Structure 1
Amino acid sequence: MSLKGFFLLLSIGAFTAYYVYQPIPDEIEEKWKLMLTDCFFRTLSHLADFSELLGIKDYMGVMMFITFAERVVPVSDEHVHVTEGLFDGVEVLVYQPKLQGGDAELRRAVIYLHGGGWCLGSSRMGPYDFLARQMVIDLNSVVVSVEYRLAPEHHFPVPYEDVYRVVKYFLQRDVLAQYAVDPGRIAVSGDSAGGNLAAAVSQQLQQDPEQEVQLKVQALLYPVMQALDLNTPSYQQNQNMPILPRTLMVRFWSEYLTSDKNFFRAMMANTHNTPESAALLKFVNWSAFLPESYWGKYNYSAPSVVLKETESGSDGPLRSIADPRASPLLVPDADLLSLPKAYVLTCEYDVLRDDGIMYAERLRHAGVQVTHKHYASGFHGALMFTLWPTDFMIARTMTENLIKWLQHNL
């Protein structure tokens, strides 16, 4: 090899190492596996930015590759019977235990809502299919996995309304009887944006005077809970962490609420509040609701206020961020009192850490029974990394702990 070729190879190797390497906290296990996984996500994100810049395809359209790459065909096996259907017009996958001879016992049920920032993800992805099967087998439960419509094609409140319709439909006594489900043993659960939807549905359902069957528990896994302050300590501490850097989470929020790119820039600067939403910042004041051990070196300062709506009409994004169906952390204490028992999972190395912790604290103060499981070595999305080649030990641990809690509380 010539000296020129040697230096070229060395330069390529150095650039590759530089690109792949990300400073990962020592507390996180399997650091190199996380680096390589994040390298794929970052590369796809760069391609999505470039594609949108050239007008080839929008950012989320390119990022949907993750959803397609992990898509499976959920089929029945020797333990689990899988069917596809429509609940009040919304696509669902229903996982049921294979019937045993003489088995007439009413079962638990879990309504599961996938993550993906309201813009990505599918109940048909391998990790969600794996989780649903584990719940069926370990809990002897029926699992309803919801294929709600996604932004940016369908902005808020469409994804929320899809989920709410499914839950209302499933909680009808004749539907529960069809699936041999005990009306007193039903959970709603979701991760990330799915956790947001699960919390919002739990709140709205218990305010419905016509709703006879209620949820017994809610399991919120590193949930998104508010859009008013995108500069909490965890947003600052983990702004460049895999798998969900601050820029991507802000983009998810923006795409969920509007197609206005100016709103994304305002959210990035944390200057997107109106006087109406600013009045609700008291529920997001992390110096009041976040234990001091999580404050770090940061000082609380309320986000800036925008004086007028950027879009006309009641559905503009500045109005939507104050809607508790989008930001469940914003409800007053009185609306928390009768909520079902909760399991809240948070991760130290996650921009959404403080959202989940503040909600768990507010639920406790309202008298709701809360199990808060915090993973000091956890990172966002970890629960979904259960399948090769992105199988992480912490994902198995999270799954086991979630199912154990459901076994004892559902």
Structure 2
Amino acid sequence: MGKKIILLLTVGVLAAYYVYTPLPDNIEEPWKLTWMIAVSKSITNLFMFAEFLGISHLMNTVMFFIALIEVPPTSDENVTVTDTTFNNIPVRVYVPKRQSESLRRGLFFIHGGGWCLGSAAMSSYDFLSRHTANRLDAVVISTNYRLAPKHHFPTQFEDVYAALSSFLSSDVLEQYGVDPTRIGVAGDSAGGNLAAAVAQQLSEDPKIKIKLKTQSLIYPALQNLDMDLPSYRENSHFPILPKSLAARYWSEYFTTDRSLEKALLLNQHVTAESSHLFKFVNWSSLLPEKFKRGHVYNAPSYGSSDLTQKYPGLLDVRAAPLLADDARLRGLPRTYVMTCQYDVLRDDGIMYVTRLRDAGVEVTHTHVEDGYHRAILFLDLKISYRMINHYVDWLMVTL
């Protein structure tokens, strides 16, 4: 009997250790989040074990299960929802049902998922798009794009740019009753990266006459040049997006060769020939004091082999919008950036805010002190609705 009790206690302690994740004191609904993290961690570890055994690539396995939580294009009492294609890229379109006396706003939304995962049909993205369409009385286009590991940069960028270009044509805008002077682009995480990249490209594209009024970037990934920022140091093990997973996503964007991932983790993926670019991501000059506190800037460390020659997209502004020079930034529209305290990508967004303001772009920055990566999609938690409201409220006033 005593052995059974000891065994039971041991199993209980191990289970509690596995489930429990220490969280900062200001996290709202910590036990809900802890449970969600435990479930996610269990599933991810199982998928990683399957990859280790050679059964399936991690991202392909995750996408298989993501497909199970996708929802069909179902209209409701407020919004008509349909699936179609723009330039052969699948998109989901949300059009408010109520009568409008004038042309509507238009919002082009790009989902996140590390360029490897996600879709416009995921239930959380579907909710966000229909909620945005209804509150703003706006036509929302939620785009898909081809994903890694099957497709690498610049495919994701090109797919999104092709779909956006199609949406911005006069005949499509007329078809959906969209005001060509009130169109914005938005995205979260990798979608924020793509939103920033297409906004830069569009501002310099003479073939597209209709330009964006706004861009909204929700905890965007904007550079891979320096992965030793204070936000990476402070949140390297935060479970939603640890540094190891961020490096994996960046690596998968360019190649299935895992050696790039290892170089990114060591921050040794470029050689001294690229040193001139570090001024664009020098956090010692671009971050406000509150985010630099307690951290010392380390001079860049360079690798012995230049992976940027093997994978030139690493330093392409279409993949890393923070590397754009000031002249390219000056033509950008009014910008909204949301960052979260407990997120390795926090400083990417904050540095972009600084650089855009220095370039003369009007920027609104919302920093969520108790926020963390992907929180806007966790619809079971109160923080999700708080973040959604910040984002949509800005669009209501600005777009």
Normalised by the shorter chain, which TM-score bucket? over 0.9
Q: Distance in 2 between matches of 1:66 and 1:354?
A: 31
1:253-275 deviation per Cα after TM superposition (whole angstroms, max 9, x unaligned): 00011111111111111100134
3-state SS in 1 of match to 2:315? coil
The more displaced of 186-195 and 266-275 is 266-275
1:1-56 deviation per Cα after TM superposition (whole angstroms, max 9, x unaligned): x2222222211111110001111000111111111111122222222221111111
Indicate conservation of the 8 Å contact 2:270/2:307, yes or no: no
Which residue, out of 381, 384, 395, partners 1:395?
Answer: 384
Which residue, out of 328, 338, 341, partners 2:331?
Answer: 338
* Corresponding residue of 1:4: 3
Indicate conservation of the 8 Å contact 1:273/1:303, yes or no: no
Pairwise CA distance, 1:215? 0.4
Alpha carbons of structure 1 residues 115 and 295: separation in structure 2 relative to 1, 3 Å: same
Alpha carbons of structure 1 residues 321 and 149: separation in structure 2 relative to 1, 3 Å: same
3-state SS in 2 of match to 1:110? strand
Pairwise CA distance, 1:242? 2.6
3-state SS in 2 of match to 1:64? helix
Q: Does 1:115 align with 2:104?
A: no
Alpha carbons of structure 1 residues 7 and 201: separation in structure 2 relative to 1, 3 Å: same
TM-score in terms of structure 1 length: 0.95
* Corresponding residue of 2:174: 177
Pairwise CA distance, 1:333? 0.8
Indicate conservation of the 8 Å contact 1:136/1:142, yes or no: yes
TM-score in terms of structure 2 length: 0.97
Pairwise CA distance, 1:308? 3.7
Q: Which amino acid aligns with 1:354?
A: D
Q: Does 1:205 align with 2:194?
A: no
Q: Distance in 2 between matches of 1:375 and 1:13?
A: 35
Q: Does 1:379 align with 2:372?
A: yes
How many aligned residue pairs are there? 399
**Greater share of helix residues, 1 or 2?**
2
Alignment of 1:17-96 (within 5 A): 17-65=16-64, 67-96=66-95
Pairwise CA distance, 1:172? 0.6
The percent identity for this pair of structures is 50
Indicate conservation of the 8 Å contact 2:146/2:159, yes or no: yes
Unaligned runs of 5+ in 2: none
Q: Distance in 2 between matches of 1:64 and 1:289?
A: 36
Indicate conservation of the 8 Å contact 1:44/1:63, yes or no: no
Q: Which amino acid aligns with 1:398?
A: M
Q: Distance in 1 between matches of 2:307 and 2:369?
A: 40
Q: Distance in 1 between matches of 2:314 and 2:222?
A: 11
Alpha carbons of structure 1 residues 348 and 66: separation in structure 2 relative to 1, 3 Å: farther
1:60-92 deviation per Cα after TM superposition (whole angstroms, max 9, x unaligned): 122225522431112111211111111001000
Indicate conservation of the 8 Å contact 2:270/2:306, yes or no: no
3-state SS in 2 of match to 1:279? helix
Alignment of 1:345-356 (within 5 A): 345-356=338-349
